[in-house]
Amino acid sequence: MLKRLLLGADLAACAWPAHAVVTTVENIGSILNESLPLPAEQTPGLGAAFAQFFEFNLPVAETVTLSMSDSATGLQRVVDGSLSLNLWSTTGATPPFIPAGALIESSAIVNVVGGQEATVLPDRVAAGNYFAEIAGLSGASPIHIAIDGTATATVPEPSTWAMVLVGFGLVGLIGRQRRLDRFAL
């Protein structure tokens, strides 16, 4: 019985081509001043390459934060993984319709106590279409690790903008006063 199980595991490992990339694409819709969970996706296991894409749009300019985490340890850990935010300018013509565009910012997936994580914190981005990508090589273990993530977009409050403008005004007044004092001497 054990021989059959081992033979089945060997055949399954051989049947999975090493060069294939398991790809998933999800459209999470519009993000307006809120935090949305990325749909949990599983790595393919057995050391296979994978890429997970999450398309979204921002109706207004917002500050975006992307984060991901998993509970992978030991041989289950993602190898050479990364999380990135990209401007979405085109989509592949054939399934799974992979998005493509310019990289805005990327972060490596790092090992932490109890799993792995990555966070991308770019500057404020303009309204438009974007996608997050989580990619890497799944762990050597046959266990499929679920990767969870969050996309958060924040629109600064009007009072925040008012405070920024007042601050710039005060800096300008102080600079002008110093210049006038320098000329008065």
Distances (CA, A) of 158 to 139, 152, 164, 166: 46, 19, 10, 12
Q: How many CB atoms lie within 10 A of CB 157?
A: 10
pLDDT tens digits along 34-91 = 999 999 999 999 999 999 999 999 999 999 999 999 999 999 999 999 999 999 999 9
| Extents of the domains making up the chain | 19-154, 156-185
pLDDT over 90 at 138, yes or no: yes
- Closest-CA residue to 84 (of 99, 106, 67): 106
DSSP β-bridge partners for residue 3: none
pTM of the model: 0.75
pLDDT over 60 at 12, yes or no: no
- Closest-CA residue to 129 (of 61, 80, 56, 42): 56
Between 7 and 31, where is the model more confident?
A: 31
Supply the DSSP string of 118-170, one letter for each residue: EEE--S-B-SEEEEEEEEEE--SSSPPPEEEEEEEEEPPPHHHHHHHHHHHHH
Residues 50, 60: Cα–Cα separation, whole Å: 31
Between 101 and 145, where is the model more confident?
A: 101
Burial class (CB in 10 A: 0-12, 13-18, 19+), 130: buried
Residues 116, 75: Cα–Cα separation, whole Å: 12
Q: What is the CATH number of domain 19-154?
A: 2.60.120
